[in-house]
């Protein structure tokens, strides 16, 4: 802060450094929370991110806040069914083992 530049420390510099540190902590907390929610989603851990962390979601994507939980659950069920159908089409249960699936889809047509 100001001590390294001027060689002295005054109240203005202390407050400026405190503001910068608080801002850095707040932004880091929001980023870490969003990252943890992404990790939880990838590991299929259930979280209620829509209701409990609206401010974090709003920062990432403001369009997600107004989506009702029923719509999200319905969308998840549709995606699970699509993955299951593709697995039945492409994996022979008698001769092949399926250890996991990764959906690569464009869901823009689901809303139409």
| Same-domain pairing of 105 and 74 | yes
Averaged pLDDT, 16-28? 80
Same domain, 3 and 41: yes
pLDDT at 66: 58
Are 53 and 76 part of one and the same domain? no
Total domain count for the chain?
Answer: 2
**pLDDT tens, residue by residue, 63-89:** 555 556 676 677 778 778 877 887 777
Residue 40 shares a structural domain with residue 77? no
Measured at the alpha carbon of residue 90, what is the angle toward residues 89 and 91, in degrees to the nearest 5? 105
Instruction: Identify the domain containing residue 86 by its residue range.
Output: 68-112
Residue 36 CB-density burial (10 A; 0-12 exposed, 13-18 middle, 19+ buried) = middle
Is the same domain home to 58 and 73?
A: no
Do both 1 and 15 map to the same domain? yes
- Do 3 and 43 share a structural domain? yes
> Is a pLDDT exceeding 70 seen at residue 53?
no
Judge if 77 and 53 occupy the same domain: no
pLDDT, residue 105, reads: 57
**79 shares its domain with 100:** yes
Q: What is the pLDDT of residue 58?
A: 47
Task: Average the pLDDT over each of 26-30, 47-51, 63-67, 81-85 and give the range with the smallest value.
Answer: 47-51
The stretch 93-112 carries a mean pLDDT of 66
Band of the pLDDT at 42, cuts 50, 70, 90? confident
Regarding whether 112 and 57 lie in a shared domain, the answer is: no
Percent of the chain with pLDDT over 90: 0
| pTM (predicted TM-score) | 0.30
Cβ–Cβ contacts within 10 Å for residue 64, how many?
13
Alpha helices in 43-112 (DSSP H): 49-52, 54-60, 69-90
């Amino acid at each position: 802060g100001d001590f390294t530049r001027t060689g002295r420390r005054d109240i203005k510099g202390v407050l400026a450094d405190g503001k910068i540190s608080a801002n850095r902590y707040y932004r880091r907390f929001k980023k870490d929370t969003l990252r943890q929610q992404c990790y939880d989603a990838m590991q299929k851990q259930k979280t209620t991110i829509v209701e409990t962390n609206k401010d974090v979601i709003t920062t990432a994507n403001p369009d997600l806040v107004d989506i009702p939980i029923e719509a999200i659950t319905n969308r998840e069920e549709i995606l699970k069914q699509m993955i299951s159908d593709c697995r039945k089409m492409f994996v022979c249960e008698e001769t092949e083992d399926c250890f996991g699936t990764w959906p690569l889809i464009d869901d823009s047509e689901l809303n139409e």
